Structure 1
Amino acid sequence: MYCNFMEHGIEYAKQAVKEDDTGNYSKALQLYMNALEYFQAQLKYEKNQQIEKTIRERCLGYLKRAEEIRAVLDNGGSVPASNGDASVAAQPKTSPKPKDGGGKDKEDPEKAKLKAGLDSVIIREKPNVKWSDVAGLENAKLALQEAVILPVKFPQFFTGKRKPWRAFLLYGPPGTGKSYLAKAVATEADSTFFSVSSSDLVSKWMGESEKLVSNLFQLARDSAPSIIFVDEIDSLCGQRGEGNESEASRRIKTELLVQMQGVGSDDHKVLVLAATNTPYALDQAIRRRFDKRIYIPLPDLKARQHMFKVHLGDTPHNLTESDFEKLAQKTEGFSGSDISVCVKDVLFEPVRKIQDAEYFMKSSDGMWVPCEPKQRGAVKTTLQELDAQDLASKVLLPPITRADFDKVLARQKPTVSKADLEVHERFTKEFGEEG
């Protein structure tokens, strides 16, 4: 249920800003307080530190404004305009709208409302993913370096007609690391990273979705150099003219086309990255806006070998280089996500051994380790009995072995079918290029 707290908080905040803008301060105050309640509830469950920080900043802005309104309403006076604290991007512009319909002043509250909505759902983050963390995909990494790293470090290379790439489409089967690669780009480029999904840009209010798209690109330009990453873009930009396409969907696609055209022609140092598992579902006009379309395939043998090592990390194990090579050979057809799930399962094997063990022995450093009944020093006991004797902290997990991997792989199968691969390979021949 807690996943709805954020959505409710955002909705109440939007309504509060709207009422605040129109001068309905009593109602705005109540809506601000409702929004704060939901944001506070979200903070109890939020694990992502960056999102938590963003929520707290928004809460400070909304609380400050609510206190201003309450103080003045209690005294029967007029509500002052906000002080425009730049540290709280979601704080609304609060001076009442002019009644004469004067131009700029009338637009500011609307922009503030849309910006508040975007700031509440867009994660500006500095991912900690390096090129070396991405296994394989050398061609894709090289193309992205051309587009992102070189223009920043060597701007003199990109003069005249030589312009850096401005829009990349990463496509391929699920779990091959498209989102991971996008995060590596943001890390290496030292750019502001706007990570959005289609749900962040779709509003139930008429005409607001396309304004959200427009404001997203404007925020990216203001924060340049920046990267806009749209995951699962096919859900936002499917084929136009389909029977189930709504008017709102058509307007969003039109606005996205306009904004991407602007990014391509103007040097705003904004890179658009998008990922999809179903490239054929994309609208043709949107597809053409991506000047680079890179296939992210299943990892090859060398990449799989590297992934097993990365996911194991510094967890104690006794696997050799030969073992990693054999594991890579046994997992042909596995995606990066499949390998991640496999290793995660393997990491629990030592815990399962400890739970199931009926005999333990003391190691040279005084730690209890599971053992066979006939081993010298074996004591018949269980983990629960050791815990009852307050000896649980003295139990040592055994290292991960090749047998642990064999046991897990015997029950795990790849999630990407041959039919899926054929679709992506056909799209690559028609429209894309190998990554």
Structure 2
Amino acid sequence: MYSNFKEQAIEFVRQAVQEDNAGNYAKAFPLYMNALEYFKTHLKYEKNPKIKEAITQKFTEYLRRAEEIRAVIDDGGTGPAASGDATVATKPKTKKKDGESGDGEDPEQVKLRAGLNSAIVREKPNVKWSDVAGLESAKQALQEAVILPVKFPQFFVGKRRPWRAFLLYGPPGTGKSYLAKAVATEADSTFFSVSSSDLVSKWMGESEKLVSNLFQMARESAPAIIFIDEIDSLGGQRGEGNESEASRRIKTEILVQMQGVGHNDDKVLILAATNTPYALDQAIRRRFDKRIYIPLPDLKARQHMFKVHLGDTPNNLTEGDFEILARKTEGFSGSDIAVCIKDVLFEPVRKTQDAMYFIQLPDGENMMPCGPKQPGAVQTTMQELAAQGLGTKIIPPPITRSDFDKVLARQRPTVSKSDLEVHERFTREFGEEG
């Protein structure tokens, strides 16, 4: 099966080279990046060391070529010379460092950056500010940090500087990652989305180099945003009995990079999320100049969530129904409501599967389940209609309030009162309301 990844990678390379040689660099770049993703997946499964080495060599060439094209596109140029064959990348123009080979390449850094390339979010997640229910002060603070400095740089003169580091904390399922998606959608910046698995390596000393390279890549791509989900798994309390040497070094590197000594980090924003803010190391916590509590959604936010998640699915709910549902779900998190609606969306399908009577709709073609006493009702089942070749004509009924009542009767909130008390205490001590 894994040979499919290699074939797909080769196909993307073929298209990329074609566009590259034609001078269509904006088209060639994403094709090279897609090829690299497939090559990287194939390398995980390839057992033959010779094939592995050959693919790694090609991977490095294509990565270098993609970085050159990216640099030229960012500069607004027409494109780097392909030397007649785009598959052989020209040498990158990098400054030599002590200990580097004479041709200016650092193979180790190329490998590390290749691993981090998947962290760059190249397609907007399509979550707008208006999709995020409530959290007005959190949205305002993020807009001040993300949108204003890029669109209105003249606002930030003298001592006025944009916020550089945000910590979003709160119970699970309250929308911290969703808020980060809205930032990625709305911000005109390079967005790096990383988790602990992207930055933790089994090789001694490589994890802190990954952290260092991540921040360096962000500086080179500025304006940029680094989003670290579940930061507590990387930045837990130092000095704990079960802490390893590698874990301590990662934390130290995060602290050094967030401090930004010797670097111009004005256009690099760090955004992190955690469900366990007390687990964070004090020094790392202090690096976040904004610590925003993302609480459980309030009544209006829950009402908005029911509408957003239901979307344009046929239903006969009124504004009053949505308000009643919001009141019934006190203590529910955003993800609890999403799960509830996911379940409700299947209720009409369940009704259709169990129905014993169907009625023909006014369009004269489609059929819908109905009660036995409804005028025009025909006694039949979904299976019988499908056997007659009418399966595609069956339409599930619209969602009703009773569907929600049925699902809510068996669903419970996932966030306990003790969880909330922990976050509220942290907010009193170190945070601010979102």
TM-score where L is the length of structure 1: 0.80
Q: Which among 142, 145, 161 is matched to residue 144 of structure 1? A: 142
CA contact (8 A) 1:126 1:192 kept: no
CA contact (8 A) 2:195 2:229 kept: yes
Alpha-carbon spacing, 1:94–1:203, altered in 2? closer, same or farther (3 Å): farther
CA contact (8 A) 1:58 1:88 kept: no
Q: Tell me the residue number matched to 2:390.
A: 391
Alpha-carbon spacing, 1:157–1:87, altered in 2? closer, same or farther (3 Å): closer
Q: Which among 236, 239, 256 is matched to residue 238 of structure 1? A: 236
Q: Tell me the residue number matched to 1:16.
A: none
Q: Tell me the residue number matched to 2:320.
A: 322
CA RMSD between the two structures: 3.3
Q: Distance in 2 between matches of 1:405 and 1:115?
A: 48
Q: Distance in 1 between matches of 2:39 and 2:405?
A: 53
Q: Distance in 2 between matches of 1:62 and 1:277?
A: 30
Q: Distance in 2 between matches of 1:244 and 1:89?
A: 45
Q: Distance in 2 between matches of 1:61 and 1:403?
A: 49
Deviation at 1:190, TM superposition (A): 1.6
Q: Distance in 1 between matches of 2:261 and 2:217?
A: 13
Deviation at 1:123, TM superposition (A): 3.9
Give the counterpart letter for 2:159 in structure 1: K
CA contact (8 A) 2:8 2:38 kept: no
**1:414 pairs with 2:393:** no
Deviation at 1:113, TM superposition (A): 1.3
Q: Distance in 2 between matches of 1:332 and 1:104?
A: 65
Q: Which among 236, 253, 256 is matched to residue 255 of structure 1? A: 253
CA contact (8 A) 1:89 1:116 kept: no
Pairs within 5 Å for 1:34-433 = 36=6, 54-59=33-38, 82=61, 84-86=64-66, 105=103, 108-262=106-260, 266-366=264-364, 367-433=366-432
CA contact (8 A) 1:237 1:283 kept: yes
CA deviations 1:151-185 (Å, max 9, x no partner) are 11221111121111000000000000000101111
Q: Distance in 1 between matches of 2:249 and 2:242?
A: 14
Q: Distance in 1 between matches of 2:144 and 2:263?
A: 18
Alpha-carbon spacing, 1:92–1:210, altered in 2? closer, same or farther (3 Å): farther
Q: Distance in 1 between matches of 2:389 and 2:32?
A: 39
Give the counterpart letter for 1:247 in structure 2: E
Q: Secondary structure at the match of 1:114?
A: helix
Alpha-carbon spacing, 1:380–1:266, altered in 2? closer, same or farther (3 Å): same
| Residue segments in structure 2 that go unaligned for 5+ positions in a row | 11-29, 43-49, 71-86, 92-97
Q: Distance in 2 between matches of 1:195 and 1:37?
A: 28
CA contact (8 A) 1:193 1:229 kept: yes
CA contact (8 A) 2:129 2:182 kept: yes
Give the counterpart letter for 2:430 in structure 1: F
Alpha-carbon spacing, 1:101–1:396, altered in 2? closer, same or farther (3 Å): closer
CA contact (8 A) 1:94 1:109 kept: no
Deviation at 1:365, TM superposition (A): 1.4
Q: Distance in 1 between matches of 2:183 and 2:168?
A: 12
CA contact (8 A) 1:293 1:433 kept: yes
Alpha-carbon spacing, 1:114–1:34, altered in 2? closer, same or farther (3 Å): farther
TM-score where L is the length of structure 2: 0.80
Q: Tell me the residue number matched to 1:25.
A: none
Deviation at 1:321, TM superposition (A): 0.3
Deviation at 1:86, TM superposition (A): 2.5
Deviation at 1:379, TM superposition (A): 1.4
Alpha-carbon spacing, 1:92–1:255, altered in 2? closer, same or farther (3 Å): farther
Give the counterpart letter for 2:299 in structure 1: L
Q: Distance in 2 between matches of 1:105 and 1:34?
A: 35
CA contact (8 A) 1:229 1:274 kept: yes
Q: Tell me the residue number matched to 2:14.
A: none
CA contact (8 A) 1:125 1:192 kept: no
CA deviations 1:207-253 (Å, max 9, x no partner) are 10000001111111111111100000001110000111111111111
Q: Distance in 1 between matches of 2:176 and 2:110?
A: 33
Q: Secondary structure at the match of 1:86?
A: helix
Alpha-carbon spacing, 1:101–1:401, altered in 2? closer, same or farther (3 Å): closer
CA contact (8 A) 2:162 2:266 kept: no
Alpha-carbon spacing, 1:38–1:82, altered in 2? closer, same or farther (3 Å): closer
Q: Secondary structure at the match of 1:297?
A: coil
Q: Distance in 1 between matches of 2:103 and 2:229?
A: 35
| Residue segments in structure 1 that go unaligned for 5+ positions in a row | 6-32, 41-50, 64-68, 74-78
Alpha-carbon spacing, 1:224–1:263, altered in 2? closer, same or farther (3 Å): farther
Q: Secondary structure at the match of 1:85?
A: helix
Give the counterpart letter for 2:401 in structure 1: R
Deviation at 1:60, TM superposition (A): 7.1
Q: Secondary structure at the match of 1:164?
A: coil
Give the counterpart letter for 2:355 in structure 1: A
Q: Matched residue pairs, number?
A: 380
Deviation at 1:195, TM superposition (A): 0.6
CA contact (8 A) 2:219 2:265 kept: no
